[in-house]
């Protein structure tokens, strides 16, 4: 989505949408574990030492990995769980770098092409994974590039296998190549374990989640108005494979 289109949507949201999460009548429950998990602030639901994952996600992933191994594919996770603190580091590094040349809002629009606003990333949940095929010859440079997953790219065999099999294990592609989809760009490497991630997506839409998010601190946050955030959630967090929104 182009920056102008997004900003137009923001102004539409500002003009017309009643912002539910501004309601003063809501009871703020910051102790709610599920909300803390959705924000990347609690990792007590995660297992595995090396790359942390939500426990059912880990089980399903292990089964999927075994099945793929029989086809000569070595599925490996390059990014699983990411804490709020980690996402904040990524965000602030990009924000500092980009604001040396651009205005803050322009910098933010650049960052959110690929990186989530801290506290809103699906990687906070422990249900989402970025994967590669370690049996393939690793390309030099950045592993997570679209071209590596298509045509004769090193991870094209993995992608074809996932297209056919991932659903059987509960994994769905999140940021599909659907031109009608809004938000983040196409990511052929990012899968989500739907049976668990759908719960966190639901939590994200709740008023008390947004209340809790508003208490978090990171650089550049002051530019994210309520209107911006409302539009961001609609465009980005719901700009996903529709299968993941069927509860
Ligand atoms: Zn990812």
Local confidence band at 88 (pLDDT 50, 70, 90 cut-offs): very high
The per-residue pLDDT for range 197-230, each reduced to its tens digit, is 999 999 999 999 999 999 999 999 999 999 999 9
- Distance (Å, rounded) from C-alpha 210 to C-alpha 230? 10
Note the pTM of the prediction, 2 decimals.
0.87
Residues 6+ apart with CB under 8 A from 19: 226, 227, 230
Q: What is the pLDDT of residue 2?
A: 57
Give distance in angstroms: CA of 119 to centre of ligand 1. 14
> Mean pLDDT, to the nearest integer, of 119-130?
97
Q: How close is the Cα of 190 to the center of ligand 1, in Å?
A: 5
Average pLDDT over residues 23-35: 59
Average pLDDT over residues 178-189: 95
Tokens of 68: 């793929």
Determine the distance separating the centroid of ligand 1 and the alpha carbon of 106, expressed in angstroms.
23
CA of 59 to the centre of ligand 1 (A): 19
Domains and CATH numbers, the chain: 3-15+31-136+147-245 (3.30.1380.10)
Q: Of 14-28, 35-49, 79-93, where does mean pLDDT reach its minimum?
A: 14-28
Average pLDDT of the chain? 90
Q: How far is the CA of 140 from the centre of ligand 1 (A)?
A: 19
Quote the ligand 1 centre to 173 CA distance (angstroms): 10
Is the per-residue pLDDT at 12 higher than 60? no
Give me ligand 1 centre to Cα 77, in Å: 10
What is the CB neighbour count within 10 angstroms for residue 175? 21
| Dist. CA 206 → ligand 1 center (Å) | 23
């Amino acid at each position: 989505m182009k920056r102008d289109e997004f900003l137009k949507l923001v102004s539409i949201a500002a003009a017309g949408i009643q912002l539910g999460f501004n309601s003063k009548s809501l009871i703020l429950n910051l102790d709610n574990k599920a909300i803390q998990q959705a924000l990347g602030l609690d990792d007590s639901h995660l297992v595995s030492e090396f790359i942390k994952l939500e426990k059912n996600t880990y089980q399903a992933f292990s089964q999927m990995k075994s099945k793929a191994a029989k086809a000569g594919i070595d599925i490996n996770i390059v990014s699983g769980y990411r804490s709020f603190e980690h996402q904040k580091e990524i965000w602030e590094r990009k924000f500092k770098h980009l604001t040396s040349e651009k205005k803050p809002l322009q910098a933010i629009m650049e960052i959110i092409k690929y990186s989530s606003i801290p506290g809103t990333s699906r990687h906070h949940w422990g249900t989402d994974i970025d994967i590669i095929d370690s049996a393939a010859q690793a390309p030099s440079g950045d592993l997570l590039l679209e071209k590596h997953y298509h045509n004769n790219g090193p991870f094209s065999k993995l992608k074809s296998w996932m297209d056919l099999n991932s659903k059987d294990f509960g994994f769905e592609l999140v940021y599909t190549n659907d031109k009608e989809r809004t938000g983040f760009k196409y990511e052929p490497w990012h899968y989500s374990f739907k049976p668990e991630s759908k719960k966190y997506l639901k939590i994200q839409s709740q008023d008390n989640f947004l209340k809790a998010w508003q208490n978090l601190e990171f650089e550049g946050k002051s530019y994210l108005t309520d209107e911006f955030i409302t539009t961001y959630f609609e465009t980005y967090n719901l700009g996903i494979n529709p299968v993941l929104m069927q509860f």
